[in-house]
Structures are given as C-alpha cells and as structure tokens.
Structure 1
C-alpha cells in the first residue's frame, strides 16, 4: 500500500473508529503529510527506521519544540502499528524510534484581580447593549466560570444551558459528554446576551431557521474558535503578556479552584481530564503561588 493511501485510511480510522477529537486528527494528519513530503510517495513497507530518524532530525534542526517532536513520534508509532495490524507492512520500523522527553512547563495563570478587571471592563461595554459586546462578555465569563475548552464552548447549543441548575452540557475529547457548573456572573452575562444580543446576530444570517448554536459569529453562524482566540488575546493578553489563548482561562479557573480549597477529583471532573495526573499540574501552580506569597510576606523567607 502506498503511504499516501495508508495515511488517508489511518486518519479516517482515527476519526471514525477511535473517535479522536478533530484537532488531534488534524495534527496527526499534518504529521503524516510532513513525513510523506520528506520520504516521497513510496510503499509503506519501504520506509526504514533511518528514514524516520532523519525526519525527526529535520524537525529538530527546524527548531520545533520538544512537545511537537514527541507528538510526531506518537503519531508515527500509531500509524505504523495500525499498518502492521492491517497487513500493510510485515515489520514496524518505528518500534526503536525514541522521542525526546517532554519538558513540563507550568501553565500561565491570570490572578483573580486581573480577571476581575478584565471582566468588569467587558461588563461595562456590554451594558451599552451592542450585540458583539454582549456576546464577548458572556464568552469570557463562561470560559472562566466553567473552565471549558474553546471547542466545547463553540459547540454549545441553546438547550445545553440549564439556567435553573447553572450548568452546561458539553461534548469533550473523545466525544465524551459531561455537565459542568458555572456561577451567577456567567449566567447573568449569558442571559443578557441571549435576550438582547443573539437575535440581532441571528438576523444577519441568510438561513435563519434551525440555528441551535448558543454563540454566534458576526454573520449569524456558529462562532469559530479563531474568533474566541482573538477575543481572549485582545482582552487578557495585556494582563499576562505575550500570546494568550482561551486555555489561559481554563488554567486560571482550575488553579483558582484549587487555591480556594476544591477537591482535586472534583476539579478533574469539571475539566474532563481522563487522568488525574493531568489535573495534578495545577497543584504545582498553586504551590508556586503559595511559595511566592510566602517569600514576599514572611520576615524569615
């Protein structure tokens, strides 16, 4: 089987059988496309360990991050394991491929005071009644109030919000559904947007009927993740410095929950992490913040 044909079949397998998230499938597909660009259109069985090592070395020389190279290694190992299982090859050349160890960096977290300032400024803008301002305030409040991923937020429909219980039903990674709580400020912001802003945005859409999305773009369709990225970068970037995305609000919410005494298992469920180990990184963030406070305040620090 040619490698391009095998890559297409494998990415279809990831999406339809393993039901990985679209973002993961795109990343793995991009990695395979990059491998094909380096090795050319050849039979899968013609690729040797040396070819894979050369491919990774080129990524190192290009300055790719260790996490990116580690993901590429995982993508290729998965691809060749699948190819072996389906009879496309008789020997797996990736078994001895060594990935660099991932360097674990602590997530960037905004302080509660900084977020209060940002959300207060957005609330003031939303009070004018402009639909986009109402939407942006609701998005930021819900991202921080519920700690959902940007893909989960963009996928929300109107009936996913339970105003009485103050919960949102989201579809997470691996198509796993969970219910997350959020607070009164987020509920008020979402209500204001739905009542005063959403209908105006919806009216800009040609095909109005049957649009279930909660958050809409400027043209009335379901909001795109890129729009949310732009919003968060604009509003939160000055507070944290550098390039900031929606995950910064998720990191901040998780850290502030633990700072406030929330149980680690409860935070794991809210975030939708499959492994408790993934959630535990936020305990390190809380410890760092505690140590920093100690050094600033204690006379014997």
Structure 2
C-alpha cells in the first residue's frame, strides 16, 4: 500500500494481470482478470459504449486503456471505485517516465528509435508513452467514471477532474441560457501537445516510394489513398460494391461518424485498381477489395492494418525512410488545399473533418517550400557579397548626370 502523497513513482511496477480478448458477443472485446473472468465494471461500461455506436476498434482501444489503469490500481492498492485525483495524477506521472511493454525486443530499429530520419525529417517511434496516448487514457477514464457516477455508483466524484473556468469557477457555472455553451476547461493532468503541421511528401520522394512498391495491389491502395485522402482504416473496409468505375469514385465508412461517403480518385488509381483485380480475379460486391496476395487453405484473407504496415516497413527499409499511410492523407490534403480551383469547404468535405478549423492547418506553408525560398535568399546574399565592385566612373563625367541618364537616383 502506497501513501497517496508520497508514492515513489519510479518504484511502481505494474503486474502482468489480465488481458483483452476478442469475443463473439455483442461486445466485441472483453477485459478479463487474472483468472480469465470478465471485469464486471469494465464490461458493463463497454456494453453501453458499444450500444452508442462505437466501432470494434474503439471498444478495443478503451479496453486496453482500462486494463492499464486496473493494473496501476492493483500496483498501488486502490479499488477502482475509491480512486481519487491523486491516483490519476500519479498514473500520469508513471506514464510519463515509463517504457511501454513490447511483444518483442527491438532488433533492426534499436538504433533508430527516437531519432530523426534525415530524408523525411520525421521522428522514429520509441518505447515511451506519447502525450497523445496519455491524453487518450485520461479521456477514457473520464468517460468510464462519468458513466458510473451517472448510474449512482462508483466514487462520489470523477477522479479525472477538469481545470476550473476563468475566475476560479466551474466552466459554464453562470451560463446565460440565451448564449451558446463555451468549451469546458481541459483535463487537469493532460500534457500539452506541441503544434504539429501536416507534411506533404515531396514529389520526388513520392515517386521513389511508388517505384519500390512490389505489387499492383500495393500501388493501387497508395494511389487511391493519395488521391482520395481517406484514412487507412477506411480504405481497408472497402467492398467490391464500393467502387464506381465509371465515375472514378470509391465509397468508405468514415472513422468517426460511421457515415458512408463517396470520394473521387484519380484516373491513375483506377488503372492500378484494374491491374490489381486482373491479378487476383473477380471480386464480388460484398467481398473485401484489399486481400492478401497469397492464399491460405485455398482462400485469400482480407488485408489488415498490420499487413499493410508491413508493406510500408519493407519499402521504407529499402529507401531509408519512415513514411506512413497517414503521410499519404496529409499529402492529399496539402495538394488539394493548394489548388486554387478548390475551396477550403471542398477539402473539408473530402477529408471528412467535422470542423473547418481542422482543415485550415493544410493552408499553412509547407516547410520544404519555405526552406527552399530562404536558402535561395541566403545564397543570393552570399553571391552579392562576392560580386566584384562596379568599375569606377571615367574622368570628366558628372556622376549626377550619369545617374539621371542610366536611371539612378538624382
């Protein structure tokens, strides 16, 4: 048992307790305890979470965050319904200094983890918990405890507290019903996120990557991605009926809203789709579009996200880069935002952003273009310094008359 105000964060070791397993019931993922039994408070919450229309991937994500929280509570000897802001604070501190458990020891990536790639200027992932992970964890816990407090169970108040509003009051405490609500304060222990700009792949780097792809399937999926701006998970959910060949459209299920949306793709993407279909044969209206190239037991399996990542990992290894599928989406967004024939609302619609402010980040100058202009400016200054001085004026001429004659300043 640790004292809440004097815990040695570095000494906390999470037990290898419980697991998240796939289930065939109405709740697609189950959090099991150390004996293999469902953790009742979590499963009740996940049942409600599933009923609200959240995807199986979101259910798994929430279950994994709650598993880590349960392990932490076991380590510090606090029951889930007795957690306080002190536990949330120490949990965040523990996440900030801990290393993520990994399935296998790094081999090839051990030298690059945490470093910056010289070509893409992107940082390689390391084994530390990122601020986005900690913020997501806090949001999950906030939602979990809100659910149980609403039911009249759990702790008396939510241990994941929000910052007070301006003047030290609760946000919207004196809200005028005739005015819209303003956003509440951020969660107290949320780490701040550095502002990140979407980067567009330079054309030469895009051409290098495309050339190294090893199959028509791989070329087709990245060509569809870079022209439609869809997310990888959205593309992987496509079925045969989701391609309109004549209109050059593909249909995806949006990640957040789960709404169906048709997206235009380039003629080149359609060509690569045709070549890919010729390779694997006919695909029915309900069959997944993206499938494995090799059969197992006579059948091809749907291409999943891990297999798609493996394709890019092999290609990156050849090029010495660390591009991701999301870089293709950013590239599509930047290309569209720079086209004077498209409005920002057009770009917002295609990218599926709920708020226009999210799309506006694609209007910011691309770093590569800024660097090119600044480097040219610096080179011009150096050239000006090294230029020979103008020849002296021959004797017998009035400098003022020459300035007037040749356009100088009088």
TM-score by length of 2: 0.62
Find 1:8's aligned residue among 43, 49, 54.
43
Residue 184 of structure 1 pairs with residue 184 of structure 2: no
Shift, 1:246, TM fit: 1.0
Residue pairs, 1:81-100, within 5 angstroms: 81-89=146-154, 90-96=156-162, 97-100=188-191
Matched with 1:65 is 130
Distance 1:274 1:148, change over 3 A: same
- Cα distance in 2 between the residues matched to 1:287 and 1:213: 36
Moved over 6 A (4+): none
Contact 1:114-1:239 within 8 A present in 2 as well: no
Please, which runs of 5 or more residues in structure 1 have no aligned partner?
126-132, 203-208
Q: Which residue of 1 aligns with 2:333?
A: 254
Mark the CA change 1:239 to 1:277 in structure 2 (over 3 Å): closer, same or farther: farther
Computed over aligned residues only, the root mean square deviation of the Cα atoms, in angstroms, reads: 2.7
The CA distance in 2 between the partners of 1:121 and 1:234, in whole Å, is: 9
CA gap 1:106/1:23 in 2 versus in 1, 3 angstroms? farther
The reply to whether residue 109 of structure 1 matches residue 200 of structure 2 is yes
Alignment coverage as a number of residue pairs: 280
**Per-residue displacement from partner, 1:218-272 (whole Å, max 9, x unpaired)?**
3312111112112233335666723x32111111111122233332221111111
Would you say the 8 A contact 2:229–2:329 is kept in 1? yes
Alpha-carbon distance in 1 for matches of 2:319, 2:228: 20
Indicate conservation of the 8 Å contact 2:212/2:315, yes or no. no
State the alpha-carbon separation in 1 of the partners of residues 157 and 61 from structure 2. 25
Question: d(CA) in 2 for partners of 1:268 and 1:74?
Answer: 26
Rounded to whole Å, the distance in 1 between the matches of 2:200 and 2:371 is: 14
Q: Which has the larger radius of gyration?
A: 2
- Of 346, 349, 367 in structure 2, the residue corresponding to residue 269 of structure 1 is 349
**CA 1:24 to 1:275, structure 2 compared with 1: closer, same or farther past 3 Å?**
farther
Counterpart of 2:90 (choices 34, 46, 54) is 54
Q: Per-residue CA shift, 1:83-103, capped at 9, x if unaligned?
A: 111222332222254211122
Cα distance change, pair 134–287 in 1 and its aligned pair in 2 (3 A): closer
* Counterpart secondary structure, 1:175: coil
Separation in structure 2 between the aligned mates of residue 288 and residue 229 of structure 1, nearest angstrom: 26
Preserved CA contact (<8 Å) 1:198 1:215: no
Looking at structure 2, the residues matched to 186 and 240 of structure 1 have their Cα atoms a distance apart, in angstroms, of: 25
Which aligned pairs between 1:1-301 and structure 2 lie closer than 5 A? 4-17=39-52, 19-40=53-74, 43-62=79-98, 63-89=128-154, 90-96=156-162, 97-122=188-213, 133-173=215-255, 174-194=257-277, 196-199=278-281, 212-217=287-292, 218-219=294-295, 220-235=300-315, 241-242=321-322, 244-261=323-340, 262-284=342-364, 286-298=365-377, 299=380
Matched residue, 2:7: none
Query: What CA deviation, in whole Å up to 9, does each residue of 1:253-298 have, x standing for no partner?
Result: 11122233332221111111112222222223x3434422321334
Higher relative CO (Cα under 8 Å, sequence separation at least 6) belongs to 1
Distance 2:59 2:317 in 1: 29
Which whole-Å deviations, capped at 9, do the CAs of 1:121-177 have from their partners, x for residues lacking one?
54xx6xxxxxxx121121121111211111111111111000111111100123122
Residue 130 of structure 1 aligns with which residue?
A: none
* Unpaired stretches in structure 2, ≥5 consecutive residues: 1-32, 99-127, 163-187, 383-410
SS in 2 for 1:75: helix
Measure the CA separation in 2 of the matches of 1:233 and 1:263.
Answer: 35
